[in-house]
Amino acid sequence: MAEQDWKTSKRTFAAVSLPTLFWVVVFFLIPMAIVWLYSFGENRGLTEIEFSGTLENYKRATEWLYLTIFGKSFAVAALVTLICLIVGFPVAMAITFASEKWRPWLLLGIMLPFWTNLLIRTYALMMLLGTQGFANKGMGALWEGTSWIKTLVGLQPLPTWEPVQLLFNNFAVVFGLVYVHLPFMVLPLYAALDRLDRSLIEASLDLGAGHFRTIMRIVVPLAAPGIIAGVMITLIPALGAYLTPDLMGGTDSQMIANVIERQFKKANDWPFGAALSFLLIYAMFILIAIQSMRKKVPEVR
């Protein structure tokens, strides 16, 4: 359907475009521009900031300490995305091939946590993982059970169960991020798998390929756009995650968002925080550029 040239009905165009453009410019582009400007400024006294055009903030951001935090954030986000993909893919398959009766309920099951407050979900997980929580109690019970069985067969009992520290470390951050982002991965995967031509899978199975091989050679390549979409939708928020590392992480599991927050709330170094923010935004842009480049490749072939 042909789009209308804006000149043919200027009044309608103005009516639909001006409010949006106004909002985007005033309440999005200008705030972002302010951050960008601040990132080239320096602190003068407590509240005054001078825009001196210095690159000092960016230089400081490339210090080893901050580079390792960037690197670590990437590693954590990538690991979380990978786990979500491995856990989520079979779920998306199951939803796709579920009966008409079950599919809506399975979808609802995935979507409801997606809509539940992030903070509440994180808090719920913290309750479960604490040293007094159920995860520890469950493992303790298993431990006691094993110990009891060992004494039954005449072996030495295991030493008494010491609660494991499941919270406030890197494990907790990854676990929490997977918990929070899993629905983000399953929904786009489902959307892609649902569009798949099933006769291709049947053909592959008829021609003698096993289920695993069919999935790896037929389903995965065909669902690639959905897989990439799912990866991006999980990777980007995981990279910028603040709440989960803040509440569930330990002193050594700071991610980049926590460092940025500290510049504003505690260290009071706005220019440096602004520079770190823009570095994070540039990282997002690079990820998206890589994604759109990959999208174009199959079309060329």
Neighbours of 4 (CB within 10 A): 10
Q: What is the enclosing helix (H) or strand (E) of 174?
A: helix 170-194
Shortest separation between residue 273's beta carbon and other proteins, angstroms: 6
* Minimum CB distance to other proteins, residue 24 (Å): 6
Which is nearest to 94 in space by CA: 227, 218, 190, 183? 190
Dihedral of the alpha carbons of 75, 77, 82, 85, in degrees to the nearest 10:
-170
Residue 245: Cβ-neighbour burial (10 angstroms; 0-12, 13-18, 19+): buried
Q: Which is nearer to other proteins, 114 or 171 (CB)?
A: 114
* Least distance from other proteins to the Cβ atom of residue 65, Å: 19
Nearest CB to other proteins, comparing residues 66 and 123: 123
In the complex, least distance from residue 56 CB atom to other proteins, rounded to whole angstroms: 18
Residue 12 contacts by C-beta under 8 Å, 6 or more apart in sequence?
none
Q: Which amino acid is at 301?
A: R
Comparing CB distances to other proteins, the nearer of 119 and 155 is: 119
Quote the least distance from Cβ 95 to other proteins, whole Å. Answer: 7
Alpha-carbon Rg of the chain, whole angstroms? Answer: 25
Q: Which amino acid is at 64?
A: W
CB of 204 to other proteins, least distance (A): 10
Q: What angle do CA 236, 240, 244 make, to 5 degrees?
A: 115
Sign of CA dihedral 122, 124, 127, 130: negative
Q: CA 39 to CA 282: how far, in whole Å?
A: 13
Q: State the minimum distance, in angstroms, from the CB of residue 125 to other proteins.
A: 5
Residue 193 and residue 106 in contact, taking contact as beta carbons nearer than 8 Å: no
CA–CA dist 266, 246 (Å, integer): 14
- When the beta carbons of 231 and 257 are compared against other proteins, the nearer one is 257
Helix (H, G, I), strand (E, B) or coil at 160: coil
- 61 versus 257: smaller Cβ distance to other proteins: 257
Q: Which is nearer to other proteins, 132 or 156 (CB)?
A: 132
Nearest distance, CB of residue 150 and other proteins, angstroms: 28
- Report the C-alpha gap between 296 and 292 in whole angstroms: 7
